[in-house]
Structures are given as C-alpha cells and as structure tokens.
C-alpha cells in the first residue's frame, strides 16, 4: 500500500480521473453539443419551443405555410393593396352604396341611364348635341285653346289658354274669329309667373269680333 501511493499516476490515469470528476460534478464540457450540420430533425425539437426570435427575418417563404391556414386575423389591418389582389379572381360586387350615387362615369351602356338617375337641373345646353333633341324626345306636347272672348269694336279684351295643372306652357299665340282692320295687340305671352302654365293675350279689333288664345303645353 505504501509503495502504491508513492507511484506517480500515468497521463491516461489523469485523464480518466478528470473525466470522472466532470461527470460526477454535472459540469458541461465546452464545445459543440450537436452531432453536425443537417443532423437536427423535427423530432429532435420539443413541440412549441421554436419562437420568432429563433427564426431569421425574411427566411420563411410561402411554401413553408400550409395552404388555407391563414385567416384575416393573420393579416395586419389596411396592409393589403391592389397589387396584392388578383382582380380577375374577384366576382361582381353584389351591391355598393356609392354605385347608385356615382358622380362621374367614363362609359354608360346604351339606355343605361333613366330619368331618376339624373339630378334635377343637372343637364345644361353644352351637354346636348346640336339638333339632338326633336319632338320625339319631348314628353307629350299638346295644344290648349281658350273659349272665344266677344269684343266690341275697338275695345281691348283678354283671353287665356290654360295647360293642364302641373304642365308647362312652351309657346302660344292668338287669333280673331273674323278678319278686321285696325287690330292692335298689347301682349301675347306666357303668364308671367314661376313655371307658367297658360298663355295670355290682350288685343282689340276695329270691328266687333271674337278673340281666341292658344298655347303649346308640355306634359309634366
């Protein structure tokens, strides 16, 4: 026993004691602990342990995401633009409040705009082509004639031709029942009211006669 303690340990014995000491103390040995590049598999990683900080930015690609798994909540609000959407994949919009009140339109289908779609007093003469509006475009015109107004010779009398209620007078005139000399007319005009609907006349004849007024009316 005395002789054994006096002998120096060999190098191999020193290494063995060192390894035993490290193993018993729980210390880790410095150096790589993984077997090599490309040797870590999915089953080597504990589920739920890989986090955003473990993934290099801009390295996850579309092929790495399972199809049909992304939802609206996965996309930041107001982040998608027109360039991100394939327009040909979109169907017709079922309804849109702005479509019925559009301010401008580059193209309108034939017979695509009706009266209700045009704002009141919105169409002005520069918008209408020359010789584009004829009688067929007018909404129902008709003539209205007054009853005859008897007139003594050289006496001014009045006559009025009335359109139907709510209609508008477009023009008019007058006539005497018989030819006579010295016919004098003070006025032949629409009734000077807002939205006139009758034609009025004041005239006299050199001989006893009968005065008639007539009007051209536009149906409402």
CA distance 178 to 207: 9
Three-state SS annotation for 96-107: CCCHHHCCCCCC
Quote the tokens at residue 64. Answer: 């790495």
Least confident of 38-42, 171-175, 191-195, 210-214: 38-42
Instruction: Give residue-wise pLDDT tens across range 102-122.
Output: 556 566 777 777 777 788 878
Q: Tokens 């082509």 — which residue?
A: 129
Say yes or no to pLDDT of 100 above 60.
no
Contact status, residue 182 vs residue 205, Cβ threshold 8 Å: yes
Contact status, residue 218 vs residue 167, Cβ threshold 8 Å: yes
Split at pLDDT 50, 70, 90, the class of 197 is very high
Say yes or no to pLDDT of 206 above 80.
yes
Query: What is the pTM (predicted TM-score) of this model?
Result: 0.42
pLDDT of residue 220: 85
- Mean of the pLDDT values across residues 160-178? 95
Smallest CA-to-CA distance from 208 within 170, 172, 157, 166 is with 157
- Mean of the pLDDT values across residues 25-50? 69
Contact status, residue 159 vs residue 204, Cβ threshold 8 Å: no
Instruction: Give residue-wise pLDDT tens across range 50-89.
Output: 888 888 888 888 788 888 888 888 888 888 887 888 878 8
The more confident residue out of 35 and 41 is: 41
Provide Rg for the chain, Cα atoms.
51
Q: Write out the H or E segment, with its range, that includes residue 20.
A: helix 11-25
């Amino acid at each position: 026993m005395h002789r054994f303690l006096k002998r120096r340990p060999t190098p191999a014995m020193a290494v063995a004691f060192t390894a035993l000491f490290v193993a018993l103390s729980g210390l880790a040995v410095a150096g790589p602990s993984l077997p090599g590049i490309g040797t870590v598999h999915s089953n080597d990683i504990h589920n739920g342990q890989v986090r955003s900080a473990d993934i290099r930015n801009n390295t996850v690609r579309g092929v790495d995401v399972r199809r049909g798994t992304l939802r609206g909540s996965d996309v930041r609000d107001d982040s998608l633009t027109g360039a991100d959407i394939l327009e040909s994949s979109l169907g017709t919009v079922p309804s849109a409040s702005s479509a019925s009140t559009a301010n401008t339109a580059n193209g309108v289908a034939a017979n695509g705009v009706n009266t209700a779609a045009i704002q009141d007093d919105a169409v002005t003469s520069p918008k209408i082509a020359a010789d584009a509006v004829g009688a067929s475009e007018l909404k129902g015109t008709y003539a209205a004639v007054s009853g005859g107004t008897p007139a003594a010779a050289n006496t001014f009398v009045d006559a009025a031709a009335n359109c139907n209620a709510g209609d508008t007078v477009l023009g008019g005139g007058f006539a005497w029942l018989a030819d006579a000399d010295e016919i004098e007319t003070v006025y032949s005009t629409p009734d000077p009211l807002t939205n006139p609907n009758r034609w009025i006349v004041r005239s006299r004849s050199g001989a006893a006669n009968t005065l008639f007024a007539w009007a051209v009316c536009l149906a409402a």
